[in-house]
């Protein structure tokens, strides 16, 4: 179980943060930090594919046959295989260059698409990782502000039916960055 947790209300919805293994936290939908080829990889993507089993990759193969690649900032959904969820939302984050090459907009779009697809699928609970902060090199402090801002903004509006979003972060450092961003951003949305 998590060593660190934070839960903040956003209107009548919950925004939570915890340290843990995203493949073990039950939710209707699980966000995945995917690559544009939708071909599986390391980090969160590899963990999700290992835990969920081959059915996820088989479904992604059908999606690839239809659309080719998925651009940064967009996402696709598959069933969740053996994961404690119904759906996996494969969001493609940007590779960080300098912060002035469209990365913040693409990262924000990843999180917005996760919520939009959750609504389309009827998911009311969603877990999310820190997209693009691993091998894609997005600095955690910058990524946390973009991620929390995008999700909190969607939760504070009336267009989403998602009731709970939980950021499942891989270590205490990521947790502290995301918690700090939430404590700055969420109260500002309420005022």
User: Do residues 78 and 53 lie in contact, with contact meaning Cβ atoms separated by under 8 Å?
Assistant: no
**Residues 27, 187, 105, 76, Cα dihedral to 10°:** 10
SS3 assignment, position 28: coil
Give the Cα separation of 5 and 159 in Å (integer).
27
Catalytic residue among 12, 14, 45, 184: 45
Known catalytic membership, residue 141? no
Class of residue 153 by CB neighbours under 10 A (exposed 0-12, middle 13-18, buried 19+): middle
Residues 32 and 91 sit within 8 Å (Cβ to Cβ): yes
Which residues are identified as catalytic? 45
């Amino acid at each position: 179980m998590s060593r660190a947790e934070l839960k903040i209300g956003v209107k009548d919805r919950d925004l939570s943060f915890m340290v843990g293994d995203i493949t073990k936290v039950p939710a209707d939908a699980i966000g995945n930090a995917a690559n544009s080829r939708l071909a599986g990889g390391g980090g969160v993507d590899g963990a999700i594919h290992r835990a969920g089993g081959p059915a996820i990759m088989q479904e992604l193969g059908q999606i690839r046959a239809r659309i080719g690649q998925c651009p940064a900032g967009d996402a696709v959904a598959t069933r969740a295989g053996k994961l404690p969820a119904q759906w996996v939302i494969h969001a493609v984050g940007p590779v960080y260059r300098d912060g002035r090459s469209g990365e913040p907009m693409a990262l924000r779009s990843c999180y917005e698409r996760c919520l939009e697809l959750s609504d389309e699928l009827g998911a009311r609970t969603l877990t999310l990782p820190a997209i693009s902060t691993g091998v894609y090199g997005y600095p955690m402090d910058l990524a946390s502000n973009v991620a929390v801002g995008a999700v909190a903004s969607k939760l504070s509006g009336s267009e989403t039916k998602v009731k709970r979003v939980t950021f499942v972060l891989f270590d205490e450092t990521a947790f502290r960055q995301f918690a700090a961003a939430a404590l700055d951003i969420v109260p500002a949305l309420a005022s």
